[in-house]
Amino acid sequence: MLSKKLFKRAKTLIPGGVNSPVRAFKNVDGDPFFVRRAKGARIEDVDGNHYIDYVGTWGPAILGHAPNSVTGAIPEMAKDGVSFGIPHPGEVEMAQTIIDWVPAVEKVRLVSSGTEATMSCIRLARGYTKRDKIVKFEGCYHGHVDSLLVAAGSGALTFGEPDSAGVPASLAAETITLPYNDPAALEECFATYGDQIAALIVESYPANAGLILPKDGFLQQMRDITTQHGSLLIFDEVMTGFRLGKGGVAELEGISPDLTAMGKVIGGGLPVGAFGGRDEIMEHLAPNGPVYQAGTLSGNPLAVIAGLTQLREIDHNNGFMKLEALGARLEEGVRKILHEKGLGYTFHRKGSMFCLFFTEKPVFNLDDVETSNKEHFRRYFWNCLNKGLYMAPSPYETGFISMAHTFDDIDKTLEIMNESI
């Protein structure tokens, strides 16, 4: 078993043997497999096992793994250079594409990860409003930014410690955390602290504690209350952006945030993030304004070309409609299985994102998510994996369908789920 051997060795070299905690399979009491290659909807591990994949490198792989268009574009670009640190045309093309697609973004800056994007939004909001407090919701993950690692969803939840050691108490004190889908709590928070709040940041659809959807009017309340108090509304669309539609949740729900954080899908599998918003706010960034933000590899030519290639391919192939059809087929099948087995578990889906909660409780917030039957999830996860189906190794994750999945793949998936649950 090569995976076992590699993991043993990795643990002597890398903390926990992984470069990001969610990869460690801690929440399913096991060890991760090591991947040899991945193509389309499928992964092959180093021991030669094959899996249908619904993790999709945690979101970016919307075309499936290693799409030919992207793997063709990268070496083509690399012939001319892999990093310049000098402006190049690809950055302008990427900025234009983001601004064309995302209605609330008038100016955009590229960074190298989603974490950098949210971190920069927070600093910009504080610099622009000259206020310090940030409001976030329990279960929303915005990357491992100090001020945002409070009650932060999947990775932190898996280890049962919502707050990270190493975050200064003085900094965490500037972050107010509210339960999601609770209009009264939001109202009270702004009534009390309104004039000190720089920004409210929210995962436009929270997708790092399973997939939670806003109750009718909750996003509009966020928009209204921040405007009323002179605070900024930041939509973290790192997960949802370019996955649920060209303009993300902001467009789907008709809400116009002041700032938007982006990542994952826009990088085509390479490290990219971006943040953007109203021109007047973005102009506060250096070199034009007083808010400093920078990056040696920001706008990296390989990452930009990979991302642009991916976005164009989704668009040219009617991608979002196809993904919706695949998602609908999966949803119909899962509901049928649950019904036939007499399981009242909650299933949420939006387009190509889905989550099966192992709880009969309707899920509106983190407390509801935590009523999940972890033991049942663990059994289900290993049964699926052993039959060639790779679902995320935690009950707090969202699943992703890619354009490389076929209706046959979905049917095969349902067959395995039916035998595994």
Sign of CA dihedral 61, 63, 64, 69: negative
**Is 236 a catalytic site residue?**
yes
Under the binding rule (CB under 6 A), the answer on residue 205 touching ligand PLP is no
**Is 130 a catalytic site residue?**
no
The distance of closest approach from Cβ of residue 259 to ligand PLP in the complex, given in angstroms and rounded to an integer, is: 13
Catalytic residue among 31, 45, 236, 409: 236
Count Cβ atoms below 10 Å from residue 232 Cβ, excluding itself: 26
Catalytic residue among 54, 128, 141, 396: 141
Under the binding rule (CB under 6 A), the answer on residue 277 touching ligand PLP is no
- Judged by beta carbon, residue 129 or residue 398, the one nearer ligand PLP is 398
The distance of closest approach from Cβ of residue 141 to ligand PLP in the complex, given in angstroms and rounded to an integer, is: 6
User: Nearest residue to ligand PLP, using CB?
Assistant: 114
Tell me which of 31, 174, 236, 258 binds ligand PLP, using CB under 6 A: 236
The distance of closest approach from Cβ of residue 263 to ligand PLP in the complex, given in angstroms and rounded to an integer, is: 5
Considering only residues 96-125, where is the footprint of ligand PLP by CB under 6 A?
113-115, 118
Q: Within its chain, how far is the Cα of 216 from the centroid?
A: 22
The region of 99-107, 158-166, 236-244, 374-382 touching ligand PLP under the rule CB under 6 A is 236-244
- Judged by beta carbon, residue 23 or residue 36, the one nearer ligand PLP is 23
Q: Within its chain, how far is the Cα of 140 from the centroid?
A: 10
Tell me which of 41, 61, 198, 239 binds ligand PLP, using CB under 6 A: 239
Residue 259 pairs with which residues in a beta bridge?
234, 277
Tell me which of 45, 138, 174, 203 binds ligand PLP, using CB under 6 A: 203
Q: DSSP letters of 259-325?
A: EEEE-GGGGTTSS-EEEEE-HHHHTTBTTTSSB----TTTT-HHHHHHHHHHHHHHHHTTHHHHHHH
Sign of CA dihedral 155, 159, 164, 165: negative
In contact, 67 and 404? CB cutoff 8 Å: yes
Q: Within its chain, how far is the Cα of 383 from the centroid?
A: 26
Considering only residues 139-168, where is the footprint of ligand PLP by CB under 6 A?
141-143
Catalytic residue among 128, 264, 368, 380: 264
Distance separating alpha carbons of residues 323 and 418, to the nearest angstrom: 22
Q: Within its chain, how far is the Cα of 4 from the centroid?
A: 29
**Is 4 a catalytic site residue?**
no
Under the binding rule (CB under 6 A), the answer on residue 56 touching ligand PLP is no
The distance of closest approach from Cβ of residue 395 to ligand PLP in the complex, given in angstroms and rounded to an integer, is: 17
Q: State the angle between helix axes of 301-316 and 319-341 in degrees (0 to 180), rounded to the nearest 10.
A: 70
Number of residues that bind ligand PLP (CB under 6 A): 14
CA distances (Å), 6 to each of 23, 52, 175, in order? 14, 22, 40
The region of 83-91, 158-166, 187-195, 233-241 touching ligand PLP under the rule CB under 6 A is 233-241
Cα 196–201–204 angle (5° rounding)? Answer: 150
The distance of closest approach from Cβ of residue 122 to ligand PLP in the complex, given in angstroms and rounded to an integer, is: 12
Residue 277 pairs with which residues in a beta bridge?
107, 259
Cα 387–391–393 angle (5° rounding)? Answer: 110
Q: Within its chain, how far is the Cα of 345 from the centroid?
A: 23
Site track 16-55 with ligand PLP (rule: CB under 6 A), x = hit:
----------------------------------------
In contact, 249 and 205? CB cutoff 8 Å: yes
Under the binding rule (CB under 6 A), the answer on residue 329 touching ligand PLP is no
The distance of closest approach from Cβ of residue 111 to ligand PLP in the complex, given in angstroms and rounded to an integer, is: 9
Tell me which of 108, 110, 238, 363 binds ligand PLP, using CB under 6 A: 238
Residues recognised as catalytic: 141, 236, 264
Residues that bind ligand PLP (CB under 6 A): 113-115, 118, 141-143, 203, 208, 236, 238-239, 263, 273
